[in-house]
Amino acid sequence: MSAGPEERTVVRAPAKVNLYLAVGRRRADGYHDVDTVLQAVSLADEIVIEPATALSVKTDPDLGLPAEENLGYRAAAALGSAVGLEPAVAITIAKRIPAQAGLGGASTDAAAVLAGLAHRWRLGASFAPVLGEIAASLGADVPFFLGPGTARLTGRGDVLAQTLPTPLLDLAIVRPDVPVPTGAAYAAFDLLASPAPPGFDAILSACESGDASDVAAALFNNMTDASTGLAPEVGDALASVRRSPGVLGAAMAGSGSAVFAVCASAAAAAAVVSAARESGLWGTTATTVTTGVIVTEGA
């Protein structure tokens, strides 16, 4: 094991959407059983890791959190403890993924820090299981971002059940200016009588076919009623996106507040985003990608 290179390491950290999200009831351990298909997308944060005298993390723009509460900081500290190396690095996170949007921003940043440090320290493929354990300890979505771009996860959303083919999709992602705290959304979900999920077969077949219309028809998220009850603006955004020309189907990302549309073309996705921005909402186009975090610079 080596402390690795002295130059900077750059990692691309993609956002995610849920093509399928079936949440079960609360378990005895306080978590919920989850069956979900996560899809990485081209919207991404950029993480830069550089040599320093001590561990530090900053975000651009500043999220207003103490560094020690940043999931990237916690990832670096946990990995350093596991391998017996001091994470004497300065981590800068260029934030492009909006926070509290259901897009996995904090989780992908944590995965990117793990991947970047593992690369710098030349931990090798044999360390992957330990890296996965650390990732799972940080959050349910973190392990997903260390793997392929499309996957089914079960357990509390942290157990890789199946790697899936990546459908090539043009997406519009829209977010009203209102957060949906995850804990509040799950508490609201527990008070609702949710319909039975449609099952995994349709979204599996859609991913295998790669047809955008098939994927759009199979989109499912049973957190939608809970989250839109807390933040009606999310429901309004979802309804507006669904009415837009060229939209084949739409769903909420995670527990919100972002929603996304599978579109017939890149032009249709751009039109959805343009209309959303004119209405005062945040929006961006994106495409699906075939992998999670990627070290793009620094050997």
Q: Beta strand 282-287 with 89-94: parallel, antiparallel or unpaired?
A: unpaired
Query: Closest Cα partner for 261 from 129, 153, 171, 126?
Result: 171
Query: Closest Cα partner for 169 from 101, 232, 261?
Result: 261
The catalytically annotated residue of 35, 109, 141, 214 is: 141
Task: List C-alpha distances in Å: 131 to 81, 116, 209, 253, 294.
Answer: 12, 12, 32, 26, 15
The catalytically annotated residue of 16, 35, 45, 170 is: 16
Q: What are φ and ψ of residue 16, in 5° steps? A: -135, 155
In this structure, the dihedral spanned by the alpha carbons of residues 28, 29, 33 and 36, taken in order and rounded to 10 degrees, is: 170
Please, what is the angle between helix 71-83 and helix 128-138, to 10°?
140
For residue 207, give both structure tokens: 């991913």
CA–CA gap between residue 298 and residue 9 (Å, rounded): 4
Is-catalytic flag, 177? no
Query: Closest Cα partner for 134 from 154, 156, 153, 158?
Result: 158
For residue 88, give both structure tokens: 């004497």
Instruction: Map tokens 């973190």 to a residue.
Output: 142
Is-catalytic flag, 58? no
- Active site residues per annotation: 16, 141
